[in-house]
Structure 1
Amino acid sequence: MKKILITGGTVFVSRTLAEYFVSKKEDVYVLNRNNHPQPKGVTLIEADRYNLGATLSNYSFDVVIDANSYTGEEVSLLLDALPEIKEYIFISTSAVYPETLSQPFKETQQVGANKYWQSYGTNKIEAEEILAKRVPQAYILRPAYIYGPYNNAYREAFVFDCATSKRPFYLPSSGDMILQFIHMNDICKLVDKLLETKPVEKIYNVGNEVTVTIKEWVEMCYDVVGESVEFIEVSSDVPQSSYFSFPNYEYILDVSNQTAVIGETIDMKEGLRESWEWYRENQEVVTKRDYFGAIEKMLEEKI
């Protein structure tokens, strides 16, 4: 039994990781402020990560999974508070790659500012650099768009809402922009395998081997709800992020290192079916954006 500390533990990524390792009979601790319900089977360490003090000084963990550090400061504060560090896994982001690089992005390419992700990406870069310097054995994961049960971002849930309302879907241009996703359970599987096999490579792009277009993704979302979709194409003159869940930015990750560790990822449609089954009972968990308002106010005049 491994003693595992997971930062967060109550929302999407960190919660799924906590539940996964509880199901594997590991001794799971979660570090959070206790503002949300805790997963079953975990031990709560209630603290503010900006004021940890001696909170962790009497603990010894086999593994630290940092699932919710967004800046170098947050990583540094956690490292300072831990009396020792054995295995460490950091959930970073694919937003660390500049949009100007050749694609698919490879882990060996130079990271840097991306105009679409701005400070989110550069803050994660700083966090990665501090971690690599202080904990050279740490693994760093750079996921594409994450989906699955517990997803509190209004992404697939927005399309499910369109489908259940039997609305036509307002499609950015022809809908041929490519999206790359990864199911949260595949991230759990990767983390587990890295801890088990301890490969030499320390940085991993994380995503499905097969990408989809916006149109294909929306069709799958409607299909798992049990509805057919009618598309209305929207001019590129309309800001895409005002009425759709993703910015007008296409990128692809090279995930060959990930594939070498875990093999094939979850089928996209099956993963979306799991998301739908969860969402239909947990709609209040998702942070919804007013895409429908934008559509009603703006798009009718600008298509």
Structure 2
Amino acid sequence: MNDLDQLLREATDHVASPDLAGRALAEAHRRRVRRTAVGALAAVALLGGGVAWAVQEPTPKAGVVDTPVPTPTATPSAADTDPATQPIWDPFTVVDAPRRPSTLPEQIAPPADAPSIAEAPLPDVVLAWPEEGVDLRVLATNGEWRSVPGTANAIQGTFRDVVSPAISPDGDRVAMAVDAGVLVVEATTGEQSVVPWPPELAGPVDSRPGLRWLPGDEGFVVLHWKRPWLVGLDGTGEPAPFGGAYGSGVMVDPDDGTIRERTRAYGRLRMWNSADDASSVSLGGYGERYVTRSGWWPTPATRDRTAWH
């Protein structure tokens, strides 16, 4: 290998070295200098032209008069004096708003094991708390909780084996649909009674219907899945002249028993007096007038914020 290297050196001694690397670096330096000079000249030319354009007076044209463009100003809106107009509300200020007076505590936390209402009655009921596998718990205005024994298993074999309580307008009773009928619990005595189902509503069913109290001792509007029924405290019943499937949109005025219903969005709001269609009015959108009185209950979807009743 050494002999070959020596042979090659001797054979190329007479060839002058071109110094290719040095020549390439020198050429690159010259090109950078030329580009820098050209860029500087172009920048000066542009800047000079821009300055000249900015300071020179525009050439007026014959017959053309410059009209100043007025600056737009905001026109104050007229004050709205209609008492029905609500002030603009910023929802982000709700945390600073004062809490309205309420019979309910600031935080609702039902105890896991409340005393039985049959053994320790309450003055009234303002909230009913259903929960799967647990007896119904109710809260009074005095802040005390009670349980309603037997309600944990009062519904069986349906898609939702949980009672749906309905508090009476005066808060003295709470009712719920169960397998045997309508279970009514007296707050002040703790007594329980069952209004039997009319044969048409006995079942079997996929889920027990919701209830709406009628004034006094008139009974209930039973929101059956086919159509609402009117059921008295003696167990007699008949189909209601109002409402559609599942009784959606049916409301009961707790004072005079007037029925209001709106079965679908953009539908008519109808008012019923007994079996008479007393009035009907068209309303746009989804607005509804729900009438309520005493009582709340939490629903599974609103467990953390407690729904109105």
Q: Which TM-score band applies after superposition, normalised by the shorter structure?
A: under 0.3
Choose 1 or 2 for highest CA Rg: 2
More helix by share: 1
More strand by share: 2
Structure 2 length-normalised TM:
0.24
Higher relative contact order (CA 8 A, sep 6+): 1
